[in-house]
């Protein structure tokens, strides 16, 4: 297989022509100086009779041209040759290199003038050459800067276009996130209502069965049936209130806050949950502080929080068979501005890794749980300016506690 390659010239090959051409240019410049001075001599000799001292003008012109086109060295040669020519041909004694005393001032004047003309011409040439180089460099820099600005402008236009596309994608993502958030909120609302209404509806069904049973007696027990019917009305009303309060919570409506006695709510919850407690074999004990300050709260929402905490404790003890199923609710004054409610059970307890997760929506450790009770309770307590937390009991069970601000109106 044949292969053709173009050999790159070496540095030696590049530099050799410069060594050979530079002396030739020097000789050319020196020859130019000699030729110009020779022409000045000839013109001066030809015009000497008709134009007195015309030779000086031609010599000055020759020196100027030599210095301009040949540089300082050629200008210097032109000056020396001009001095020799003037001294030999035109300064007495003629055809002699000696200068007489009378002709010395004129000769010196010519020599000085020639030197000044040579220096000025070469300086002017160098200055113009330097100026031209500066202009060329400036033009190159301007072109480079223009190209750089053009490139930067194109990059900026591309970046702006990319940023616009990113902003458009961001707006689309925000719109999609908003739609997903609305769907999630609707799902959470539906799950919350389903969870919270389940207990009142179960009580309605139980009281309806009791009412039917009392009416089926011979003779019918009208008083007990009427009491069961009244309980059905109360539970139905409570279910309606629960739905209303949960819907208001998810629509950012302001809670209907009034002065509430937490001890009364705890007692009411105990009565409401009595059937469930008896069916599960749970013993409820209450330790309520006397003279507990009133709180400014939504009564239905706080009642639902206590119901959720009790229901959570009852379900935690459903699988316990080797120890009593005891549920203790206590209330106490924590400070002039805060009261504390505690619900303690003797159930299976809570794993340390789940201690903070139990308040997240849809998190549950129960096979049939929805994971909404504690999440809703936490939202209600936080909306009232309080705090809900959990801790493990020793050796068994879990303690759930929440604080609620009081109606304290003293000086801050």
Q: What are the DSSP calls for 363-386, one per residue?
A: --SSTT--S-HHHHHHHHHHHTT-
How many other CB atoms are found less than 10 A from the CB of residue 72? 16
Query: Phi and psi for 340 in degrees, rounded to 5?
Result: -125, 130
- In tens digits, what is the pLDDT along the chain, a chain of 412 residues? 444 444 444 444 444 444 445 567 677 877 888 888 888 888 878 876 555 445 578 888 888 888 888 888 888 888 888 888 888 887 788 877 777 787 788 778 888 888 888 888 888 888 888 888 888 998 998 999 999 999 999 999 999 999 999 988 888 887 776 666 555 555 555 655 665 666 677 777 777 888 888 888 888 887 888 887 877 887 777 777 667 666 665 555 555 778 899 999 999 888 878 878 888 899 999 999 988 999 988 888 888 899 889 988 888 888 888 888 899 999 999 888 899 999 999 888 887 777 677 777 666 666 555 567 788 888 888 888 899 998 888 888 899 999 999 875 443 3
Residue 297 to residue 404: CA distance in whole angstroms: 9
How many helices (H) and strands (E) are present in the chain, helices listed first? 8, 7
Does the domain at 255-405 match CATH 3.20.20.80? Answer given as: no
Q: Kindly list the domain boundaries of the chain, sorted by start residue.
A: 11-146, 255-405
CB 289 within 8 A of CB 332: yes
Predicted structure pTM score: 0.45
Residue 238 to residue 245: CA distance in whole angstroms: 10
């Amino acid at each position: 297989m044949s292969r053709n390659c173009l050999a790159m010239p070496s540095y030696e090959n590049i530099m050799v022509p410069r060594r050979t051409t530079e002396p030739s240019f020097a000789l050319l410049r020196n020859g130019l100086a000699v030729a110009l001075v020779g022409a000045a001599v000839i013109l001066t000799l030809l015009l000497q009779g008709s134009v007195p001292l015309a030779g000086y003008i031609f010599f000055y012109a020759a020196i100027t041209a030599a210095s301009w086109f040949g540089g300082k060295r050629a200008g210097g040669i032109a000056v020396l040759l001009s001095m020799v020519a003037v001294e030999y041909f035109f300064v007495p004694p003629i055809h002699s290199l000696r200068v007489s005393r009378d002709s010395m001032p004129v000769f010196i004047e010519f020599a000085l003038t020639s030197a000044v003309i040579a220096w000025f011409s070469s300086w002017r040439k160098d200055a113009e050459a330097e100026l031209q180089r500066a202009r060329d460099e400036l033009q190159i820099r301007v072109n480079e800067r223009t190209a750089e600005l053009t490139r930067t402008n194109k990059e900026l236009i591309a970046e702006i276009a990319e940023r616009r596309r990113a902003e458009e994608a961001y707006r689309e993502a925000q719109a999609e996130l908003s739609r997903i958030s609305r769907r999630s909120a609707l799902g959470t609302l539906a799950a919350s209502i389903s969870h919270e209404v389940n207990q009142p509806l179960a009580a309605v069904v139980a009281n309806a069965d009791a009412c039917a049973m009392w009416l089926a007696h011979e003779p019918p027990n009208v008083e007990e049936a009427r009491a069961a019917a009244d309980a059905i009305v109360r539970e139905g009303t409570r279910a309606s209130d629960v739905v209303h309060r949960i819907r208001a919570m998810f629509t950012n409506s302001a809670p209907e806050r009034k002065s509430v006695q937490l001890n009364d709510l705890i007692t009411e919850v105990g009565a409401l949950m009595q059937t469930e407690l008896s069916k599960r074999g749970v013993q409820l004990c209450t330790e309520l502080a006397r003279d507990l300050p009133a709180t400014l709260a939504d009564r239905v929402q706080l009642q639902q929080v206590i119901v959720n905490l009790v229901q959570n404790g009852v379900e935690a003890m459903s699988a316990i068979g080797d120890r009593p199923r005891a549920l203790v609710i206590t209330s106490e004054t924590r400070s002039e501005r805060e009261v504390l409610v505690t619900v303690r059970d003797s159930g299976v307890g809570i794993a340390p890794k789940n201690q903070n997760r139990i308040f997240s929506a849809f998190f549950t450790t129960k096979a049939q749980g929805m994971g909404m009770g504690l999440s809703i309770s936490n939202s209600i307590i936080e909306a009232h300016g309080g705090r809900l937390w959990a801790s493990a009991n020793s050796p068994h069970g879990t303690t759930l506690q929440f604080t609620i601000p009081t109606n304290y109106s003293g000086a801050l």
